[in-house]
Amino acid sequence: MKYIVDSNRMKQIDIYTMDVIGIPSLVLMERAALEVVSVMKQVIKKEDRILAVCGPGNNGADGVAAARILFMQGFEVAILLTFDREKCSREMQTQLEIASKLGIKIDNSINIGEYNIIVDAIFGIGLSKPVTGGFAEIIDEINGGKHIVFSVDIPSGISADNGKVLKTAIKADYTVTFGYMKQGLLMYPGVSYAGKVTVSDIGFPDIALRQVGPAAFYYTEEDLCRLPYRKSDGHKGTFGKVLVIAGSEGMAGAAYLSAKAAYRTGAGMVKILTAAKNRNVIQTLLPEALFAPYDYDEDDEENEIISNGNRRGESVSISVGNLIKALDWADVSVIGPGLGISDKSRDLLTFVLDVVKNKRKPLVIDADAINILAGMLDRESLSVKDRLEKIESLLPENSVLTPHPIELSRILNVPASEITDNIIDIANQYFYNSKLIYVLKNARTIVMGPGGKYINISGNNGMATAGSGDVLTGIIAALTAQGLDAYEAACLAVYMHGLAGELAAQKSSVYSVMAGDIADAIGEILHDKQNTILETR
């Protein structure tokens, strides 16, 4: 697990380190500069011409210190100041005085085009206003040239809080960020401007982060050790039973993908509860799965049937017997993929919610089940807060909801564009103290719940394909059925889902990935990483 901070938390960590622990700012600055130089020297050559473009604050001072170290190691270096020299921080003034005494060229008007290596130290993580005027002109000139660009802490012009471009921003090839990953370096579009990111330890003590608290966290391959332990003497019942309630008539694919992903992730048994007419398709595609219909089945006349007239006067039949048996049998249930939003689907979801809430069993709610829930909310005039509280009242506390932006817009009753443009703010504003677990699917999927905020770093745009979300629900359910806490299961599932998508794309291309490829790749990533899993337990 790696921690993520925003600008405010990083500032507090900085202050705590200096004022409480007593590590001087210039000591931290020297270590930061050494880390920047260390990354640069993996790329640059002695014949390169290096220009440090520096702003007036401590980010600029880091850049000057890095330029000085490179100069003392024999590189040709100059420093371009983007401000009047009298208007700068105390640390910056100190660094400039040292650089001047060493004879480094320092000026406000240096031809950027004469240098092939740029150190971007104009703005740090504290930037919150749009970049304008001379600063914007310099950034645009750097972006328009043929330079290799190293950004100090964050590309100038990118918000450290949400990754937004503050009117214009440096497009870096490399970014060296200090202490902890910044939220804006993970979120789009910021991640596209940062290039290859290195997180460098410059001496912030762990106690500073504990005092302040992280903004979020992310997983790396080492976290695959969180996978549920498999007992050597276990059997199919030991490793969890997953129920997949999915697929209206003619929509068997969603049920198949969720169930297959659950099996690939280690579930011992999977039962698919779907439309009776999907039987042949499901049993052909996935004979390993148990099958039961949620509607009237001519082959099983003993099932109790409830028939209600819907508002169009049509008959709605649901097999209560099959539902109760399946829900009693399962350790965790999935509902929603390919289910449709018919009256039958609404009745089915309502019945399942009543049974599961009383039994307090984990529930993963996806796709059409989310749309049906949102439709229930629309019957009343509710604020966003009231809508979320209403959902909480309907579901067990350990329920997992997996909305994509359009589904989330229906839940919140806000435009989908507002969600995609402000997903971090939406997550912070509405889901931080949620008793439920929300998997907010996007280019960067965010998991919110009792365990905090998880930002996923795995995956690619090839996963933006029909059925990919169905695979994710199956992974979440399987990990939960095997004993993981539902929040941890959701976070780990999202990470594994992304790794599987990466492997699927490597085998073909991001253009060619299908959801079935992602499901098939789950087993392969677990096979490839099994030594890592075992070694880190």
Query: What are the binding residues?
Result: 58-62, 120, 124-130, 153, 156, 254, 338, 404, 441-445, 469-470
Residue 176 near residue 152 (C-beta atoms within 8 A): yes
Residue 155 near residue 169 (C-beta atoms within 8 A): yes
Q: In the block, which residue shows the tokens 């659950």?
A: 262
Q: What are the angstrom distances between the C-alpha of 300 and each of 50, 87, 229?
A: 78, 83, 39
Q: How many residues does the chain have?
A: 537
Is the dihedral angle over the CA atoms 3, 5, 10, 16 positive or is it negative?
negative
Q: Please enumerate in sequence order all residues whose Cβ is within 8 A of that of 37, keeping only pairs 6 or more positions apart, or say none.
A: 66, 69, 70, 73
Cα dihedral 151, 154, 158, 163, rounded to 10, equals 130
For the residues of 65-114, what is the DSSP string, one character each? HHHHHHHHTT-EEEEEESS-TTSS-HHHHHHHHHHHHTT-EEES---GGG
Under the phi-then-psi rule, with left for phi > 0, alpha for psi from -120 to 50, and beta for the rest, what region is 250?
Answer: left
Peptide bond into 189 cis (omega under 30): yes
Give the closest residue to 393 by CA, choosing from 430, 341, 357: 357
Tokens describing residue 45: 């050559």
H/E segment holding residue 217: strand 216-218
Q: Which residues are annotated as a binding site for AMP?
A: 441-445, 469
Q: Which residues are annotated as a binding site for (6S)-NADPHX?
A: 58-62, 124-130, 153, 254, 338, 404, 470
Q: Which residues are annotated as a binding site for K(+)?
A: 59, 120, 156
Q: Where are the beta strands (DSSP E) in 382-496?
A: 400-401, 437-440, 446-449, 452-455
